[in-house]
Homo-oligomer: A and B are copies of this chain.
Amino acid sequence: MNDLRMSDSGRALYDRVKRFVAEEVDPITEQFFTMGEGREDRWSYVPGQLELLEGVKDKARAQGLWNFFLPDAESGEGLKNLDYAFIAGVLGKNPLASECMNCSAPDTGNMEVLERVGTPAQKQEWLVPLLEGKIRSAFAMTEPGHASSDARNIRTEAVLEKGEWVINGEKFYISGAGDPRCKILITMVQTNPDGPRHSQQSQILVPIDTPGVEIVGPMHVFGDDDAPHGHMHIKFNNVRVPEDNILLGEGRGFEISQLRLGPGRIHHCMRSIGVAERALDLMIRRGGSREAFGQPLALLGKNLEVISRARIDIEAMRLMVLKAAKAMDVMGNKQARVWVSMAKAYVPEIVCRIIDEAIQIHGAAGVSQWTPLSRMYANQRTLRLADGPDEVHHMVVGRNEMGNAGYKPQR
């Protein structure tokens, strides 16, 4: 549990990924985003933009830097979560890097789920094109109007009628559903409202072009619509899909969620640490180069201590995330659940604080478009709410502590 080193094969891959990002992805990144800037339809790509991306994807595929996110999968030798955590740190530094190697969320989680619980037909139809990077996907879980941190609160209902699931309900913050390439929604629904708490939900495959799937519009994050990826607001109005579109079986939706959430959360955390590193780097440069009252800002007041605390917290966070990844490797995702919650409750809150301090040292420029800080803050702030708000993860950790000591408090 305390050996937090990459494996030899992991390090080899890590080095190759790092080089690929530097040599192939970094050079096209600015061009890719600049191309899209003045486009008329925010929910599309301009001609040539996707071609640029596909060119790099082809190279990655050719070099075998492709789909390596799948841990311990039957379809490959698998990569340890610990190794992947290090690699996620690299991927987190370039916004296109994950996609170029077909390792971008939420496709990763969706592919992992399909790979593990999909039927041969489901795999053929959806997993194959996803693994090939030909389509994209989304995971429709969160609902407006009630706290979805409580699994019982899924209200989108699916009723079986004549061999078809009829789905009605409303979801929001469905990330990636704005992309024109997004073809399939893995949708969390309530199929057994009277069943036991964790057996009321199912997950159903809903092609995004099914009649009744209404993309209401994008949800904003601190005013940003994140087009064309988008965090979409979607209504399901009598959407009908074949009975066979269910994953794993009725009432097993919660069980599938458990499968996907651990690794995804750790990847997020590792990327967050990359973001914190960037904020600290900006803080240091500003503090070292800007002067006031005849001193570099870094030497004024508490600034040097702020920098010290940021560094200390970053190192502590990194070790915690690596430990959680290792726990998944050693104990399995289920047993490591508490470690994952610890990392998830710990990291984004501190990263937000570090970015905030970087903003402060930048003065007005810190909230402006001249630094990436306000956008970084908005993204990280959202992570404290997504995949379970901090409070739910603290509840998991706190209860586990009580349970280990022989207390089983139930509220």
Contact = CB atoms under 8 A, between A and B. Distances in A.
Closest 10 pairs (CB-CB, A-B):
A288-B407, A302-B302, A304-B398, A147-B292, A319-B319, A308-B397, A308-B394, A308-B398, A2-B4, A316-B316
A55 to B, nearest CB: 30
Contact of A312 (B146, B346, B370, B405): B346
Given A5-B2, A223-B224, A407-B298, A401 B307 contact: yes
Interface string A199-238: 0000000000000000000011111100000000000000
Interface of A: 2-6, 142, 144, 146-150, 153, 172-173, 219-224, 280-281, 284-285, 287-293, 295-305, 307-309, 311-312, 315-317, 319-320, 322-323, 342, 345-346, 359-360, 363-370, 374-375, 377-378, 381-382, 384-386, 389-391, 393-399, 401-402, 405-407, 409, 411
B364 A142 contact: yes
Contact of A301 (B363, B382, B391, B409): B391
Nearest to A369: B220
A397 B367 contact: no
16 contacts: A3-B3, A150-B293, A219-B370, A222-B367, A223-B223, A223-B224, A281-B405, A303-B398, A305-B398, A307-B402, A308-B342, A308-B401, A315-B342, A319-B320, A359-B381, A363-B385
Contact of A367 (B150, B298, B303, B385): B385
Contacts of A398: 298, 303-305, 307-308, 311
Interface majority SS on A: helix, strand, loop or mixed? helix
A343 to B, nearest CB: 8
A364 B345 contact: no
A396 to B, nearest CB: 8
Contacts of A393: 308
A318 to B, nearest CB: 9
Nearest to A377: B222
A71 B11 CA distance: 31
Contacts of A363: 147-149, 385, 389
Given A173-B364, A374-B222, A409 B4 contact: no
B224 A368 contact: no
Contacts of A312: 320, 342, 345-346, 397
Nearest to A150: B292
A384 B390 CA distance: 26
Contacts of A297: 147
A370 B224 CA distance: 13
A285 to B, nearest CB: 7
Contacts of A296: 407, 409
A305 B142 contact: no
